[in-house]
Amino acid sequence: MPIAPDAAAALVDRLADAAGWAILPWFRAETLGTTDKGAAGFDPVTEADRAAEAAMRDILDAERPEDGILGEEFGTRAGRSGLTWVLDPIDGTRAFLCGAPTWGVLIALSGPEGPLYGVVDQPYTGERFRGGFGRATLDGPRGHRALRVRRCPTLAEATLATTYPEVGTAADQTAFARVAREVRLTRYGMDCYAYAMLAAGQIDLVIEAGLAPYDIQAPLALIEAAGGIVTDWQGGPAQDGGRVLAAGDPELHRAALDRLAG
């Protein structure tokens, strides 16, 4: 069953609202149930993650039963419409546990060719970054505005962000270091908020590895709508996750690809 762009955007807003209402009572709370789901290292999931995804799925079950769902916490529901809702209820759970507001709710609507529309929502700061259907916007404490990436053609002028200093494998870390050595500033620990800041023209590059589809599809739609570029480290499609390079400037993107390749 098709969905019109305005109806899709309105539904994504409702999903983000529902997720935020489920999450905020747990943020900076004195007690929060947490489970470590990682086979190696600390990979937490909280009551807030599960509650938020469940709230979004309840809406989709009622209103879009023919669409697929891909969610971090409750897996995949096959669909028949050709559309899939890609949900990460809290991207940046470690930041959430630390009380840092760099986490966000990621929601994408994807078709056979990839993400059509995506939202990065930070309910604690009241910022909602939307991208797709020919527009990219932010609603937040300062009101409503259009989003546009900034031009920065050279690595020497660029600000680079990633979540972990340990970017993927040892080989990935070596490749990342080649880029980091040449940029003006590197920032760590920004989670999905880094992609939002790239779309807003505040930073220039995001480089990450080991991503799942639900980690990148909403940011991908947002950044492309704001005029940026999101690929894998070889310049190919990034919608399936893995190693991801996002840039605001095509010349900067080419330079980063060159350094990542060695």
- Binding-site members for Mg(2+) are 72, 88, 90-91, 215
Concatenated DSSP letters of 84-115: EEEEEEEE-HHHHHHT-TT-EEEEEEEETTEE
Using CA atoms, how far apart are residues 49 and 243, in angstroms rounded to an integer? 24
Beta bridge partners of 138: 129, 145
Alpha helices in 132-229, H assignment, sequence order: 170-180, 193-199, 213-225
Residues 6+ apart with CB under 8 A from 141: 125, 126, 127
For the record, the structure tokens of 198 come out as 């790239």
Write phi, then psi, for 57 (nearest 5 degrees).
-65, -35
Environment class of 154 (CB within 10 Å of its CB; exposed 0-12, middle 13-18, buried 19+): middle
- Do residues 159 and 205 lie in contact, with contact meaning Cβ atoms separated by under 8 Å? yes
Tokens coding 36: 């470590």
Joined tokens for residue 35: 């489970």
**Calpha distance 3→64 (Å, rounded):** 10
Q: Give the annotated binding-site residues.
A: 72, 88, 90-91, 215
